[in-house]
Amino acid sequence: TTGRFEACYGGGEVMITPRTADIAPIFQQAGDVISLFDAREFVLNTTDSTWPALQMNIRANLPNTQPESNITLLAFGTVQLQNNAPLPPLMFPVTINEGLNVRGGPSTNYPIVAGISGGETATAIGRNRNGDWFNVILPTGVMGWIYAPATSHSGDPQALENTPPRDELMTPMQSLSLSSGTASICDTEQTGGILLQTPVELPATILINGVQLELDGTAHLYTAEQNLYIQLLSGLANVAVGGVSVSLVGGQMTDVPLALDGSAGAPPSPPQGFERESLAHLPLLALPQPITLASAPTPTPPPAVAPVEDGAAPAEDAASETTAEAPDPTAATGIAGNWYHTDVDGSNVAMTITRIGEDEYAVYLYDNLATACARFGGATAA
């Protein structure tokens, strides 16, 4: 069974870039498990028509005291995953001399989050300034602080990172970069990607290529043609970049243009439906919770308009005067591009220009949530 902060190998070629050069986490056979604290990057390669698979349990912003509740990340096919959350530079095991309370911070003033018995082992990943409290991960996956003099170990406490209470920091794979590739499977070109699934009634937030994804359900993500595609298979989701967001319901998708460095280059597109046939290659049965694929919602038809007698003035249609709020360019901090804002014929227009290739740029216009895109080359950035 895969625990919190762990990755389980499902088969195929998976290469791991370790946290530090002195450790070498490897997968030898299906079912092998490693700690996400030990890996900076995973690269899955399709060989001999065999798709690799890798499952991770990510805490993200889910409750620390519910280690059985995690985001499931299932990577498959040709795909590269890079952890962008900070990892501790040093970790070592500590043995508990006598039963201890595990607290939310480095003093008895913090609340108790768990307990650990004498003889059990935890992993120290940090310390407070004085070095008399260790920031630890329990075997259950709960994180907290224990009194250091009540432990035995062979490590150097002063070499541990001086950390704040861990709830103030990101945990492994809470922020990640995704890059997909294609490979021929059964004479068909298929794109690798990831499936994300949250626990029942426990929505969670994760950053992918700088895109904030708030998820309550199951989603399929992949990259292609300099875009990040997010298909919501079931549940609800909100996708945000630089203060501009779109909401999805099951059966809808959005895409986010990516800059040259792979980060979000413009806001997400308006929601749209997708074909179920495009999901045929997904390993949905490997997810912990069964899902029922949602169909794209049917657009609501416009209200009927009563006929107007000749010569009579039509009644004012209040709905026709309601316009969606244009994206706020001042809230677009962090977007790889330049925002411009203007007023054209009384309507608000926001525009971003993003470099997408050598001497090639993309222009994205957002006019009351309607989107237009044009690409041009041979331009000089102003």
More confident residue, 369 or 191: 191
pLDDT at 372: 36
Pair (175, 261) in one structural domain = yes
**149/48: higher pLDDT:** 149
What one-character-per-residue DSSP string does 166-200 give?
GGGS--TTSEEEEEE-EEEETTEEEE-EEEEEPPT
Residues 137, 40 share a domain: no
Angle at 308 between CA 304 and CA 310, to 5 degrees: 155
Choosing from 112, 142, 168, the residue where a domain stops is: 168
Q: How far apart are CA 143 and CA 145, in angstroms?
A: 7
Task: Give the model's pLDDT for residue 317.
Answer: 43
What's the DSSP call for residue 87? -
Looking at the fold, whether 99 and 25 belong to one and the same domain comes out as no
pLDDT of residue 303: 57
CATH number of the domain at 102, please: 2.30.30.40
Distance of CA 270 to the CA centre of its chain: 19
Within-domain flag for 310? no
Of 141, 168, 195, the position where a domain reaches its end is: 168
* Domain of residue 214, residue span: 6-84+171-286
Please tell me whether residues 193 and 156 are part of one structural domain.
Answer: no
**pLDDT class of 6 with cuts at 50, 70, 90:** very high
Question: Would you place residue 262 in the very low, low, confident or very high pLDDT band (cuts 50, 70, 90)?
Answer: very high
Does residue 68 sit in the same domain as residue 180? yes
Whole-number mean pLDDT of the chain?
82
Q: What pLDDT digit, counting tens, does each position of 279-306 carry?
A: 988 999 999 999 888 776 765 555 555 5
Higher-pLDDT residue of 365 and 34 is: 34
- 198 within a domain of the structure (yes/no): yes
Residues 63-103 pLDDT 10s: 999 999 999 999 999 999 999 999 998 999 999 999 999 99
Q: In this model, does residue 359 exceed pLDDT 60?
A: no
Same domain, 177 and 266: yes
Query: CA geometry: angle at 375 spanning 370 and 380, to 5°?
Result: 125
Q: What mean pLDDT do residues 350-373 have?
A: 41
Q: Identify the weakest region by mean pLDDT among 149-153, 177-181, 325-329, 331-335.
A: 331-335
Total number of residues shown for the chain: 382
Percentage of residues in the chain with pLDDT exceeding 70? 76
Same domain, yes or no, for 136 and 192? Answer: no
Asked if residue 302 is part of any domain, the answer here is: no
Together in a domain, 80 and 194: yes
Q: How far apart are CA 288 and CA 195, in angstroms?
A: 11
Q: What pLDDT sits at residue 298?
A: 62
**Rg for the chain (alpha carbons), in Å?**
25
Residue 306 lies in a domain: no
**CB contact burial 31-51 (16+ within 10 A = b; e otherwise):** eeebbbbbbbebbbbbeeeeb
For the residues 357-368, what does the mean pLDDT come to? 43
Instruction: Please give the Cα distance from 175 to 172 (Å, whole number).
Output: 7
Say if residue 362's pLDDT is above 50: no
Mention every residue, 6+ apart, whose C-beta is less than 8 A from residue 253.
Answer: 229, 230, 231, 232, 271, 272, 273, 274
Would you state the structure tokens that stand for residue 150, as one six-digit string? 């009540």
How confident is residue 119, by pLDDT bands cut at 50, 70 and 90? very high
| pLDDT tens digit sequence for 122-146 | 999 999 999 999 999 999 999 999 9
What are residue 375's DSSP bridge partners?
A: 362
* Torsional class of 45: left (φ above 0), alpha (ψ -120 to 50), beta (otherwise): beta
Calculate mean pLDDT across residues 154-175: 85
**Is residue 292 domain-resident?**
no
119 and 58 both lie in a single domain = no
pLDDT tens per residue across span 230-254: 999 999 999 999 999 999 999 999 9
pTM for the whole structure: 0.76
- Asked if residue 129 is part of any domain, the answer here is yes
CA dist 11 → 49, 50, 76, 93, 337 (Å): 12, 9, 10, 29, 40
CB distance 25 to 34 below 8 Å: yes
DSSP 349: E
Q: What average pLDDT does range 54-67 have in this prediction?
A: 95
CATH number of the CATH domain containing 248: 2.60.120.1440
Together in a domain, 191 and 261? yes
Helix-then-strand count for the chain, H and E = 0, 28
41 and 124, same domain (yes or no):
no
Q: What share of the chain has pLDDT > 90, as a percent?
A: 65
- Residue 31: inside a domain: yes
Q: How confident is the model at residue 358 (pLDDT cuts 50, 70, 90)?
A: low
Q: Does 321 have pLDDT greater than 80?
A: no
Say if 293 falls within a structural domain.
no
Q: What is the pLDDT, as a whole number, of residue 166?
A: 55
Place of tokens 């028509």: 49
Shared domain check, 57 and 179 = yes
Q: How confident is the model at residue 167 (pLDDT cuts 50, 70, 90)?
A: low
Can you tell me the mean pLDDT for 33-45? 96
The domain tally of the chain equals: 3
Contact 161, 91 (CB under 8 A): no
Q: In what order do the strands lie in the sheet with 100-103?
A: 112-116, 100-103, 143-147, 133-137, 121-127, 92-96, 151-152
Count Cβ atoms below 10 Å from residue 163 Cβ, excluding itself.
18
The whole-number pLDDT of residue 182 equals 93
Last residue within a domain, chosen from 168, 189, 205: 168
